[in-house]
Structure 1
Amino acid sequence: MIIQSQTKAWKDSSNQAGIAWILTKDQSIEPITGSLIIEDVASPLMAESLALRQGITEALRLGLTSISVHSDCATLIRAISSDSQIKEIYGVLQDIKNLSSHFHSISFLHVARSQDIDADELAKRALKAHSVSSCNVSGPAL
C-alpha cells in the first residue's frame, strides 16, 4: 500500500492548511482519499508533517501492516529517515515515529512533485471549498 501525503494549500494570511492523503494499492483498485482543513498551522513544513501523520493514521485505522509513504517534501523525509531534530515539527515527528512502530514494514520515500499531483489537487480543493463556505456563512438577521 502506498500513501501519498501532500499539502500545497497553506495560507500564510490565515495560517490554514488543506491537507490530503491518498492510499493506493494498485491501478485496479480505487484509491482511498481524504482531506482536512487545519487551523493555526505555522508553516508549509508543519502542514506537510501533519498530512503525512494523518495518512499514516488512516492506514492504521484501515488495519494495514505494510506501507510505503511518499512525499515530495524532501526536508520532511530526510528528517524522518535520519532522526533529525527539527524544532518546528518535533512533536509531529515523534508522533510519526510512534505510529510507525505499529507497522510490520514502513518506508518513507521522497518523490518528485510531478508524482504527487493528485494529492496536491485534493489538498487545494479542500482549502478552496473551505474558503468559499467560510465566506458564504450568514448569521441571523438583526
Structure 2
Amino acid sequence: MGFKILSAKEFNIKLKCSLHASGKLGFTEETAKRLQFSDNSAVKFALDEEDQSVLYLFNSKIADEDSFKVNKAGSYFYVNAKAMFDMLGYDYANNSIMFDMIEIKNNENEIYKLNKREKPRKQKDNIKE
C-alpha cells in the first residue's frame, strides 16, 4: 500500500480576479504570481459551447491576434477587456463582479474556469453641504 501526501500549500492559494467598474479585469498578487505574469503576458477567453454563461481563461503566455495583453501598473496586473464584458452583458458598473479561478487539467493549455460571483456595488452617499 502506498500513500501520496496532499500538501496544504497546494490548496491554500486561492486564484481570483475581479472586474472593476472601468471594465478592466484585475488579478490578485497571488494569482499573478501563480500564472507567472510578466510584461509580455497575454490571456484568451472562451465560452463553453454548451453553456454560454460559463467563461474560461487561457493563460496563453504569448500574444497573438486572439489574445488580450496583460498590462502592468506597478505590481498590479490587469486585462483591458471592457468591450468583451460589455458584449457578454456583465453589469460591472452597478455590480461588484469577482471570479474564483479553478484550474482545468489539460495537457496542451493552462486553462481556468471563471466561477462568477456578484453583488450590488455599494453606492457612496452624496453629502450636500
Shorter-chain TM-score above 0.5: no
Q: Which has the higher contact order (CA 8 A, sep 6+)?
A: 1
The structure richer in helix per residue is 1
The structure richer in strand per residue is 2
Q: Tell me which structure has the larger Cα radius of gyration.
A: 2
TM-score, normalising length from structure 2?
A: 0.31
TM-score, normalising length from structure 1?
A: 0.29
